[in-house]
Amino acid sequence: MGGWFEATGVWGGRRWATTRPCAFRLRGGLGVVALGACLLASGPAFADARLEARRHFRAGMSLIGKGDYEAGIRELKAAYSTKPHPNVLFNIAHAYEDWGHLTDAIDWYQRYLAFDPPDAAAVQEAIARLEAKLIAAAPPSPPQPPPESPAPSAGTPAPALDPESLQRLTTLTERLEAAVAKAESLTSRRETASVVPSPSSQQATANEDVALDEDAADAPPYEEVLVTASRRTQSTLEAPYATTVITGEEIRLSGVTSLVELLRRVPGAEVMQLGIGSANVSFRGFNQRLANKVLVLIDGRTEYQDFLGLTLWSALPVGLDEIDRIEVIRGPGSALYGANAMLGVINIITRPPGTGPRGEFNATAGMGNRASGSFLASGGQNRLRYRASVAYDQGDKWSRDFADDRPDVQSTFPESSLGLRGVRGNFTATWQFSRELQLGASAGVNRLYTEVYPLGLLRNYAFDGLTAYAKSDLRAGPVKLKFFWNHLATTAGPQYEPRGEPSLLTHVQSNVFDLEALFSQELELLGPHQLIIGASGRLKHVVWDYLDGTHQELHAAAFVQDEWRILDPLRVVASWRIDRHPLLDSGKPGFAQSPRVSAVYIPFEGHALRASFATAFREPTYLESYTAVRIPIPGVNAASALTVGNTELRPERLIAYELGYRGERVSWGLEWDLALYQNEVKDLIVLSNLQPLPADQAYDPVSDTYLLGRSRFANEQGLYTARGVELGVRYSPVDRVDVRASTAVQRVTASGLPEGTACAPCTQAPTYKIQAGASWRSPAHFDFSVDAAYTSSTTWIEREPAATDPTRIENVSNPLPAYTVLNARVGYRLNENVEFAVAGTHLLDGHREHPFGNLIERRVFASVRVTP
């Protein structure tokens, strides 16, 4: 049935400081599937309940290891009360069994069975065994004196047992046979126990349906785990990358209404908010108006818009209330995820179907015409689990670009002050046929209006359309299959256009079909190996009148990863991926390779050193390969600039080196992560300077305008080197208090650029980024949280018409002062089911995060959360 691990045992390379059998359950044949998101208890929660519960859990296991069962079990119960986790129930039962309290052990094993764990048959066998021990240890009834009778004569048989003694013997025999039969029958079939939960378990399940999450299958209770870094469940200590995990509790306590605001907490993240519905995120430099070097996933499905090369953050089909955690990989991810994971991966993991409150209603209203509401339902029966949601969200722009009464400029869209409006719906379901076979399906739609700021002379566009997706997952033992379809259909164009000039209003329809197969297997060859093999194919179809025609691309990829545990404290992770792109070989099909090798050394519990070398790439987008668009020159009638694509572009390339040190001191409530990196980037894809056209080519019959020149997407000649250091710290000194801080310092330099060429990535990357925040959940039902993020000054080099001659387009330097973002929230829990809050974002003086973006001003909101 598993049992206890000795002091030399490890989970994920992590040693546990117990002096005798220690503390946790693993899934090894009959191990335990951990509760994925750690259940959201309806009772009191804490600023970082996971960390607090882990302190109680480890303290309890240490006491049990020393033989102090009573105090140890008390600590385990405190851990479970703080944050319910089914594995803790098992460990409490096991402690009672070792202590010799068999009745209590049976009771807690039965409570554990209420969570329908994968080792239910083995636990039932243990219960039957303990029941048999209790029966065998029961004292016999006092003997009754035999009735007086004459002495038997010689040759007369001995008298039979008296009826009462015979009945006692028969009853005992029947109970023993029943216990043995029950244990034998459960080896071939599984049963779900019908038990009365303990008080703490009852508190956890009063308003929730419980399901187990396979993604956290191998995790001990309360360990911070992630699945994105190596395509398998592992602790953050053994991850080969610098990683950050933002939990659902942090999201709820933050009070923010935008997911990108949460990403300011990630060490080294560059968050650039241009409008209420438009933002760009990058890591370790190279941010821009169309940030295209970070791959964004939702439950493993890409949200990266392949045709344009960006993530439409406001178009994400899930709300903050549906997110279980956000896993951020700060470093190249192409070895596993291919193109576009050049600088990092953001994987948004939603609540497993059937977990969390059965129903949840959220509503928010406040300044800037902000109003939103959502309803989330979750439940299931037998092997079917589901989650469904609907939501509405709207808000006005922070600042207007032009007044409505301008005689020279007109609004293209009817509501000129609107920055964001969307209505979305989602449905996710899983059907578990057996422990080895599970099928999942999900679909969603988002009807939205939002903003985006394109490249070059294009600014302040609006998207008015629809996004949709459908996804299915099949898990069959070591094999996983995933298929999804992403759809976008929208009208887009500048929110304001000069009167009397040709309109840039456009229509886009994009469909992406993706199929991936993944196989994982543990092997033994000079040490244990974790082998992962995968293959994928992707079909892209885009219809867009900014392009020179309709284009369809077929992509394919294969990858392999081996994690070899050479010694207990040392593991080596080697990955290699090859991607086939239809244009990479000078406009013909070609291949891009992405090798990676990492070493993780865990010398003792709570400390991990890592070193890695990796390559990554970003493939050209449809915009960069096929575009052909005429852009009117502001202030110059009947004049345009022609922008064209290039089908012979090379992919952008990255070579990355990283050293890291991650540690934790659970008894102090302290965690930290330090990373030093060097990224070398070449073949950046940029828009060339405007080249004048010969007089006989100046008139353009398509737009009926004169072309001042032509710009073409091209690969830059220079080599960019980004060096930096990142440090993140989290400290929970006492219960209910959580303090976090991070800082990042970086410098980007360039070599090999043509003389006179400005180094835009060098000046646009902020040198310093500092973030700090704290949360406190008071015993008096009040919650407080505050976050501050400082970004140093930058200079953005953007194309603009020359001030003295609007017919000449120049690269103009736009200084941007340093700024600080301050967000805060105060919440009040009326009871277990109702919570009110007031939150403020950007509470300091107005600022811009890009020279062309909105002037961002404070907004204050009130919200209510009800879980009936």
Q: What is the DSSP string of 30-49?
A: S--PPPTT----SS---TTH
Whether the CB-CB separation of 608 and 671 falls below 8 Å is answered with no
> Are 546 and 617 in a shared domain?
yes
Q: What are φ and ψ of residue 203, in 5° steps?
A: -65, -35
User: Which pair of tokens denotes residue 123?
Assistant: 């636990």
Last residue of one domain, picked from the residues 193, 209, 239? 193
Per-residue confidence (pLDDT) for residue 148, from 0 to 100: 55
Cα–Cα distances (Å) from 369 to 289, 383, 391, 418, 462, in that order, read 26, 43, 16, 9, 18
Per-residue confidence (pLDDT) for residue 541, from 0 to 100: 95
* pLDDT of 478 higher than 90: yes
Per-residue confidence (pLDDT) for residue 164, from 0 to 100: 59
Nearest Cα to 852, choosing from 440, 394, 453, 321?
453
pLDDT: which is higher, 794 or 638: 794
Nearest Cα to 269, choosing from 277, 257, 280?
280
Per-residue confidence (pLDDT) for residue 490, from 0 to 100: 94
CA gap 839, 257 in Å, rounded: 9
Task: Put residue 314 in one of left, alpha, beta given phi > 0 → left and psi -120 to 50 → alpha.
Answer: alpha
Q: Where does residue 375 rank: exposed (0-12), middle (13-18), buried (19+ CB within 10 A)?
A: middle
State which amino acid sits at residue 590: G
Cα–Cα distances (Å) from 184 to 86, 631, 755, in that order, read 25, 78, 82
* pLDDT of 330 higher than 90: yes
- Confidence bin at 17 (pLDDT 50/70/90): very low
Q: What is the CATH number of the domain that holds 363?
A: 2.40.170.20
pLDDT tens-digit series, residues 339-391: 889 999 999 999 999 887 899 999 999 999 999 999 999 998 878 999 999 99
Whether the CB-CB separation of 494 and 461 falls below 8 Å is answered with yes
- Confidence bin at 662 (pLDDT 50/70/90): very high
- Confidence bin at 196 (pLDDT 50/70/90): very low
Per-residue confidence (pLDDT) for residue 24, from 0 to 100: 37
- 212: in domain: no
| Alpha carbon 662 to its chain's center | 19
Per-residue confidence (pLDDT) for residue 583, from 0 to 100: 93
E-state strands within 122-186: none
Residue percentage of the chain with pLDDT more than 90: 50
* pLDDT of 592 higher than 90: yes
Number of independent structural domains in the chain: 2
Per-residue confidence (pLDDT) for residue 113, from 0 to 100: 85
Span 67-95, average pLDDT: 88
CA gap 789, 381 in Å, rounded: 45
> Are 356 and 412 in a shared domain?
yes
CA gap 119, 98 in Å, rounded: 19
Q: How many CB atoms lie within 10 A of CB 753?
A: 15
Q: Across the chain, what does the average pLDDT equal?
A: 83
Q: What is the CATH number of the domain that holds 158?
A: 1.25.40.10
* pLDDT of 1 higher than 70: no
CA gap 121, 117 in Å, rounded: 9
Helix ranges restricted to H, 100-162: 102-113, 120-137
CA gap 839, 590 in Å, rounded: 51
Give the three-class secondary structure for 179: helix
* Across 55-69, 364-378, 587-601, 613-627, least confident range: 55-69
pLDDT tens-digit series, residues 663-688: 988 778 889 999 999 999 999 999 88
Q: What angle do CA 165, 166, 171 make, to 5 degrees?
A: 100
Cα–Cα distances (Å) from 239 to 275, 327, 447, 638, in that order, read 35, 12, 38, 57
Last residue of one domain, picked from the residues 142, 177, 193? 193
* pLDDT of 282 higher than 70: yes
| Alpha carbon 573 to its chain's center | 22
CA gap 359, 759 in Å, rounded: 52
* pLDDT of 169 higher than 60: no
Residue tagged 């023993």 (tokens) = 176
Span 631-659, average pLDDT: 89
* Across 2-6, 306-310, 683-687, least confident range: 2-6
Dmax over CA atoms of the chain, in Å, equals: 140
- 783: in domain: yes
- Confidence bin at 701 (pLDDT 50/70/90): confident
pLDDT tens-digit series, residues 121-166: 888 888 988 888 888 877 665 655 655 555 544 444 544 555 655 5
Last residue of one domain, picked from the residues 173, 193, 213? 193
Span 293-307, average pLDDT: 92
- 284: in domain: yes
CA gap 319, 852 in Å, rounded: 28
Q: What are φ and ψ of residue 125, in 5° steps?
A: -60, -40
Per-residue confidence (pLDDT) for residue 700, from 0 to 100: 83
Residue percentage of the chain with pLDDT more than 70: 84
Residue tagged 């093999």 (tokens) = 533
- 201: in domain: no
Residue 623, H or E segment: helix 622-626
> Are 168 and 235 in a shared domain?
no
- Confidence bin at 225 (pLDDT 50/70/90): confident
> Are 289 and 151 in a shared domain?
no
Torsion (CA) 635, 640, 646, 652 in degrees, nearest 10: 0
pLDDT: which is higher, 8 or 117: 117
Nearest Cα to 765, choosing from 744, 741, 783?
744
Give the three-class secondary structure for 255: coil
Please name the residues in contact with 755: beta carbons below 8 A apart, sequence gap of 6 or more: none
Q: Say if strands 301-302 and 652-665 run parallel, antiparallel, or are unpaired.
A: unpaired
CA gap 400, 384 in Å, rounded: 49
Nearest Cα to 643, choosing from 631, 661, 654?
631
Q: HSE, CB side, 13 Å, CA atoms: give it for residue 148.
A: 0
- 246: in domain: yes
* pLDDT of 12 higher than 80: no
> Are 247 and 186 in a shared domain?
no
* pLDDT of 41 higher than 70: no
> Are 275 and 374 in a shared domain?
yes
- Confidence bin at 401 (pLDDT 50/70/90): confident
E-state strands within 321-478: 323-330, 344-350, 359-366, 370-381, 384-396, 409-411, 418-434, 437-452, 461-476
pLDDT: which is higher, 22 or 727: 727
What's the chain's Rg over C-alpha atoms?
Answer: 31
> Are 187 and 248 in a shared domain?
no
Q: What is the DSSP letter of 116?
A: -
Span 436-458, average pLDDT: 90
Whether the CB-CB separation of 125 and 156 falls below 8 Å is answered with no
CA gap 365, 191 in Å, rounded: 48
CA gap 412, 461 in Å, rounded: 10
Cα–Cα distances (Å) from 309 to 160, 219, 292, 344, in that order, read 91, 36, 5, 15
* pLDDT of 609 higher than 90: yes
Residue tagged 């309360």 (tokens) = 222
Per-residue confidence (pLDDT) for residue 287, from 0 to 100: 93
CA gap 664, 233 in Å, rounded: 19
Per-residue confidence (pLDDT) for residue 253, from 0 to 100: 87
Q: What is the DSSP letter of 856?
A: B
Q: What are φ and ψ of residue 786, in 5° steps?
A: -150, 140
Per-residue confidence (pLDDT) for residue 142, from 0 to 100: 61
pLDDT tens-digit series, residues 484-526: 999 999 999 988 887 877 788 999 999 999 999 999 999 988 8
Nearest Cα to 440, choosing from 214, 139, 269?
214
* Across 65-79, 222-236, 333-347, 761-775, least confident range: 222-236
Q: How many CB atoms lie within 10 A of CB 670?
A: 17
* Across 142-151, 249-258, 416-425, 743-752, least confident range: 142-151
Beta-bridge mates of residue 534: 518, 559
* pLDDT of 624 higher than 60: yes
> Are 627 and 753 in a shared domain?
yes
* pLDDT of 612 higher than 90: yes
Please name the residues in contact with 184: beta carbons below 8 A apart, sequence gap of 6 or more: none
- Confidence bin at 604 (pLDDT 50/70/90): confident
> Are 182 and 254 in a shared domain?
no
Full domain range(s) for residue 348: 226-398+407-866
- 3: in domain: no
pLDDT: which is higher, 170 or 485: 485
> Are 152 and 271 in a shared domain?
no
* pLDDT of 627 higher than 80: yes
State which amino acid sits at residue 475: R
> Are 236 and 140 in a shared domain?
no
- Answer yes or no: pTM beyond 0.85: no
- 213: in domain: no
Q: What are φ and ψ of residue 601, in 5° steps?
A: -120, 120
Please name the residues in contact with 381: beta carbons below 8 A apart, sequence gap of 6 or more: none
Nearest Cα to 469, choosing from 644, 646, 274, 298?
298
User: Which pair of tokens denotes residue 37?
Assistant: 């998101």
- 60: in domain: yes
* pLDDT of 754 higher than 90: no
CA gap 512, 510 in Å, rounded: 7
> Are 506 and 581 in a shared domain?
yes
Whether the CB-CB separation of 59 and 114 falls below 8 Å is answered with no
